[in-house]
Structure formats: C-alpha cells, structure tokens
C-alpha cells in the first residue's frame, strides 16, 4: 500500500498509527534524518525497518553522476567510490536482529519476496 505524505517526516506519524511489520525507506537524508535519527525513532513502532541504499535519489540509475563526484570503483565499473562512510555503516542499530537492516536497491525485489512474499 502506498500512503502519501506532505512533509519529509510525515511518514513517521502514519507508520506510528499503522504499526506495520516491515517498512522499506530510501536512505535519502530528508527521510532518514541526520545519522539515522528518524529511523531510530521508528524502531519502537514498527517490526522491521529496511533502509534501501544505492539509488542516490536517481531511481537506481548509476550513470547520472559527474566525473567530479568520485573516482571510478575498479571493483564495480560504472559506479563511483563514496568519499566518506555512511551513517548506517557505523550505527549500532543496524544489523541482523537489531531492528534496522540495509538492502541495496538492486536487491529490493529479492528482499521483498523473502520477507513479505508469503504473508499476503
């Protein structure tokens, strides 16, 4: 189900009332907050938070970055290296059994089938 909201944190109030078992949220700074602040706020209200990373606001397109945004990653041609560590790489609330998990945008469909597929 898709529920619209009008402010960057409006989804938090909706999710508090619905208390869903699983929530997928893009890693966009306005949605997750500084250092995952909004995600930490949600953890007590929903079953599992899955932060989707890797689309950089482009809907999964990897060729929209400019040459000045980072060096080419030799392990993954077509992608750029990140300049700094992300909040979820150092957060203690992220990991198996901790309420917040990270999924790459390319694996969302597979993750959805695994988590939610048989529960309809």
CA–CA dist 54, 52 (Å, integer): 7
pLDDT tens digits for range 68-110: 445 555 665 655 555 688 888 888 888 888 889 999 999 999 9
Three-state secondary structure of 45-101:
CCCEEEEEECCCCCCCCCCCCCHHHCCECCCCCCCECCCCCCHHHHCCCECCCCCEE
Q: What is the average pLDDT score of the chain?
A: 78
Q: What does DSSP assign to residue 17?
A: H
Q: What is the CA radius of gyration of the chain?
A: 15
pLDDT tens digits for range 2-17: 777 888 888 888 888 8
Q: What is the pTM of this model?
A: 0.71
CA–CA dist 49, 79 (Å, integer): 26
Task: Answer yes or no: are the C-beta atoms of 47 and 21 closer than 8 Å.
Answer: yes
CA–CA dist 35, 19 (Å, integer): 23
């Amino acid at each position: 189900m898709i529920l619209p909201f009008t402010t960057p944190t409006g989804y938090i109030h909706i999710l508090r009332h619905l208390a869903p078992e699983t929530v997928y949220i893009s890693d966009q700074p306005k949605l997750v907050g500084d250092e995952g602040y909004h995600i930490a706020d949600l953890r007590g209200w929903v079953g599992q938070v899955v932060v989707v990373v890797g689309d950089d606001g482009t809907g999964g397109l990897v060729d929209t970055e400019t040459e000045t945004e980072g060096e080419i990653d030799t392990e993954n041609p077509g992608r750029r290296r990140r300049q700094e560590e992300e909040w979820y790489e150092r957060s203690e609330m992220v990991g198996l059994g901790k309420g917040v998990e990270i999924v790459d945008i390319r694996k969302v469909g597979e993750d959805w089938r695994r988590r939610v597929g048989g529960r309809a």
